[in-house]
Amino acid sequence: MDTRYDLAADEVRRITAQLLTAHPGRARFGCLVTGPDSPLAAVGRALEREVFERTFGNDSQVMAKEYGPYEDHSRFFVVLDRRRRVPAGVARMIEGTGRGVKTVDDAPALIGVPLDQILAGHGMTGGTVWDCATLAVRPEYRGRGTGLLVSSLLYRTFLVEGRRRGVRHAVSMLDRGAYRSIALLGTPLQPLAGSGPFAYLGSAENRAVYMDFPAIAPAVTAHARDLRRSARLRLDVLRRGGLGRLLTARLVATASRRVGTGHGIDHLIVADRDLRPS
């Protein structure tokens, strides 16, 4: 298995172009799901390294050291931009049963809680566990410009594929920005074993979190309804200079609805196919 994180830019473009030719579509974005040994996974790793090195200083050697032991159990979601013919975002899930996923393996030394206590405290004594190990979106695809579509598509794919594979528990290490973004969607995040923030892999403020997987979609959907109600245009809010808050609430409500229900984006997920370019 080729698990390099320094794939050359021309090779990324070549693989991306072949995949887009094999999987045409009219929508600008598509999210392709693959295992660890496909060319698409190589594109995902290259994007992980690109974003993590720029943000946290994690170069190819660091990425290989930290994530290499989990490659066999990794699953990649890669969002491709058909207009620009480039990868826009990637997420990596590491599948296990509690022990043997990166967040759970790393947590005891970071939060001072024994492994068995962490697992028992969150009921991770059976059932499939997904570790949301990485989430990387290129800067030009963040925020209002693309309406949070790339990150929403990654989050929605997490829910769709996790349900399909029978995931019961989810864990993650989230830096400050990722934690805020995911919490804004209405995701029910629990501090792992009641832990607080700590430094981790170049992030000065990181949190280890647990998610009860079956509860995520209903909670995010309910949050979207609440946000839509609160974001109705009201004259008194406008008079108090609240237009910016209303627009932000509407943007987040749209993203939460997409993530929780798949409204307008489920058809953009390409899974359960052979994604190897011919």
Would the pLDDT of 118 be above 90? yes
How far is Cα 35 from Cα 92, in angstroms, rounded to an integer? 10
Residue pair 151/219 in contact by the 8 Å Cβ criterion = no
In this predicted structure, what is the pLDDT of residue 217? 98
pLDDT in tens, 207-259: 999 999 999 999 999 999 998 887 665 545 545 555 456 567 788 899 999 99
Answer whether CATH 3.40.50.300 is correct for domain 9-270. no
Q: What kind and span of H or E run contains 171?
A: strand 167-175
In this predicted structure, what is the pLDDT of residue 250? 82
Q: What is the mean pLDDT of the chain?
A: 92
Residue 173: which pLDDT band, with cuts at 50, 70 and 90? very high
In this predicted structure, what is the pLDDT of residue 274? 44
List of E strands, 176-217? 190-191, 198-200, 203-212
Q: How far apart are the first and last CA of the chain?
A: 18
In this predicted structure, what is the pLDDT of residue 245? 61
The burial class, CB within 10 Å (0-12 / 13-18 / 19+), for 278 is: exposed
In this predicted structure, what is the pLDDT of residue 278? 44
Residue pair 171/104 in contact by the 8 Å Cβ criterion = yes
Would the pLDDT of 143 be above 90? no
* Whole-structure pTM value: 0.92
The whole-number average pLDDT for the span 118-124 is 97
In this predicted structure, what is the pLDDT of residue 54? 97
The whole-number average pLDDT for the span 166-179 is 98
In this predicted structure, what is the pLDDT of residue 240? 56
In this predicted structure, what is the pLDDT of residue 277? 46
In this predicted structure, what is the pLDDT of residue 272? 59
In this predicted structure, what is the pLDDT of residue 248? 72
Cα-based torsion angle of the residue sequence 126, 200, 41, 161 in order, rounded to the nearest 10 degrees: 40
pLDDT in tens, 16-72: 999 999 999 999 999 999 999 999 999 999 999 999 999 999 999 999 999 999 999
In this predicted structure, what is the pLDDT of residue 235? 44
